[in-house]
Amino acid sequence: MTTLDADLRRVATAAPDKEALVAGDRRLTFAELDAAASALAARLHALGVQRGERVAILLPNGVEAAIAIYGTLRAGAAFVPLNPTIKADKLAYVLRDCEATAIVTDDQLAPLADEARAHAPSARHTLRAEQAADARGTRSCAAASVSWPGSARSRPAPTASAGAPPISLDLAAIVYTSGSTGRPKGVTLTHANMTFAAGAIVAYLQMRAEDRVLCVVPLSFDYGLYQLLMCVRVGATLILERGFAFPGRVLELLARECVTGLPAVPTIFQVLTAALGTTPDLPHLRFLTNTAAALAPATIEALRAAFPRARLYSMYGLTECKRVSWLPPEQLDTRPDSVGIPIPGTEAWVEDEAGDRLPPGEVGELVVRGAHVMQGYWNDADATAQRLRPGRWPWERELLTGDLFRQDADGYLCFVGRRDDILKSRGEKVAPREVEAVLHAAEGVRMAAVVGAPDRLLGEAIVAYVVPHDGATLTPAALRRHCAAHLEDYMVPARVELRDALPTTPNGKVDRRALAAEAAATPAVR
């Protein structure tokens, strides 16, 4: 079984001059990425970073972030990707929790890193990326190199004296995810976990070396991170964009860089399709992938109209195992509400609270089995015990996702809601996604999100936030009537609010916590 770093070494040997990364006007070949990773690994070893230690990476999307990931792996350490918008107190907590030895960042974020490091005794070093000045912009050039203080591109790769290279069972990454208590939890993943997940996704997407993938989601988000890992695995090119601020910029990159694959989340796809005036001429674009939440039918229709040559993949996953399921594009019309079947080499099923498997159509918790299941939460045995349980064999554990699903007779999965998100109104359980699906079906609705607000009479009042399409005329009363015509009375929103936009997290998901806090702070209307 391979390791993540072995993937880079293999591709750099087989196709050294192949373009690996594009970020703004900077381009790196696989040979350059490989050499830069070796330079950083040598620098980390010179600072005393040992095999198995943790290195935090605080960088925006760019070639430096990719080099930092593979340089850390080449040093035998595990990387901890962090969103550049993180605050100092949370950063300090993460550094203390994972006992990071070093943090790799840039000049702009270095003061934040140093402030947090002052409260994290283990984090002895801050390394800053130094950008070389060469920035030619043509597709074929082997452009700017990246160096690190005290290192050079010509420095050889670390030798065995710096520590034996990692094996597939070694820790590769700790990816922090928000916990229900507000304290982030560190998902521990081995090389075996991550190479398996990357390989399975590559297989069903049918990725190949000729692919050029545009990544507008952060590498600190596992969805963005795996775009890098998968592209390196197959020798494809990754185009990194620092965010999704301007839809026109994304359309420009899709055309100019001959992009073949675009991963995004529903909010990005909704904004992108809303910004389109005419169908763009993108003959190279062959696949779109969506995760984080289901696409509304109107968004699916808009994507198909805008990108008729591209296959659209609906997927479901969670950080604790990366990916669970995928829907073959040819099933999208017959199973529009499904997130598909388990990814290759895995199993997933629905069971009740007693742990018994449920028959088709019944709602219960989704359980996942496979080589991609995490090893546990770092330094949190109690949380690990709640999510992982003994599996079929003594050496394996199964993942309890905490998400509610239905599974049909053919094994296709349908997401009902997160167990923690289920609302209780008038004594009845309400899945926000079911109400949102009805709202999305109303003419003129572009986006909808449903949350609960504490209510003295109802227990929880159902509150809907709706973003209309440009030019659409919607009223809260009309939307409530629409819901009443399609839902049981206890599921009809007590309040509907119209918005120009919905708040989002740094990863592009709708920020339901912010909406719930707002709903709770707004007096009930009787």
Domain boundaries, the chain: 341-417, 422-521
Spatial CA neighbour of 466 closest among 453, 455, 480: 480
Q: Are 193 and 373 in contact (CB under 8 A)?
A: yes
CA–CA gap between residue 236 and residue 241 (Å, rounded): 16
CA–CA gap between residue 468 and residue 486 (Å, rounded): 19
Q: Please report the DSSP string for 130-198 in residue order.
A: EE-S-----TT-----EE-TT--TTSPPP-GGG-PPP-TTSEEEEEEE--TTSS-EEEEEEHHHHHHHH
For residue 157, which amino acid is it? A
CA 353 vs CA 350, 389, 407: distances in Å: 10, 14, 16
- pLDDT score recorded for residue 274: 84
Q: Are 215 and 263 in contact (CB under 8 A)?
A: yes
CA–CA gap between residue 363 and residue 354 (Å, rounded): 13
pTM of the model: 0.81
3-state secondary structure 495-514: EEEECCCCCECCCCCECHHH
CA–CA gap between residue 156 and residue 229 (Å, rounded): 23
Q: Please report the DSSP string for 404-456 in residue order.
A: EEEE-TTS-EEEEEEGGG-EEETTEEE-HHHHHHHHHTSTTEEEEEEEEEEET
CATH classification for the domain delimited by 341-417, as one of 1.10.10.10, 3.90.230.10, 2.30.38.10, 3.40.50.620: 2.30.38.10
E-assigned strands of 30-68?
A: 54-58
CA–CA gap between residue 173 and residue 219 (Å, rounded): 13
Q: Are 349 and 407 in contact (CB under 8 A)?
A: yes
Q: Are 337 and 320 in contact (CB under 8 A)?
A: no
Q: Which two tokens stand for residue 155?
A: 């420095």
CA–CA gap between residue 72 and residue 84 (Å, rounded): 18
For residue 205, which amino acid is it? L
| Residue 313 Cα to chain centre, angstroms | 15
Listed in sequence order, the residues at least 6 apart from 472 whose beta carbon sits closer than 8 Å to its beta carbon are 443, 444, 445, 446
Strand partners, 218: none
The torsion angles phi and psi of 380, rounded to 5 degrees, stand at -145, 80
Homologous superfamily of 422-521 in CATH? ANL, C-terminal domain (3.30.300.30)
Is 284 exposed, middle or buried (CB count within 10 Å of its CB: 0-12, 13-18, 19+)?
Answer: middle
Listed in sequence order, the residues at least 6 apart from 170 whose beta carbon sits closer than 8 Å to its beta carbon are 3, 51, 52, 76, 78, 190, 191
**How confident is the prediction along the chain (526 residues), in pLDDT tens digits per residue?**
589 999 999 999 999 999 999 999 999 999 999 999 999 999 999 999 999 999 999 999 999 999 999 999 999 999 999 999 888 988 999 999 999 999 999 999 999 999 999 999 999 999 998 643 233 333 322 223 344 543 333 334 444 345 678 899 999 999 998 754 557 899 999 999 999 999 999 999 999 999 999 999 999 999 999 999 999 999 999 999 988 878 889 999 999 999 999 999 888 898 898 888 777 889 999 999 998 777 878 889 899 999 999 999 999 999 999 999 999 999 999 998 899 999 999 999 999 999 999 999 999 999 999 999 999 999 999 999 999 999 999 999 999 999 999 999 999 999 887 777 778 787 677 878 889 989 988 999 998 999 988 887 777 899 999 999 888 989 999 999 999 988 878 789 999 999 999 998 877 788 888 898 888 887 665 4
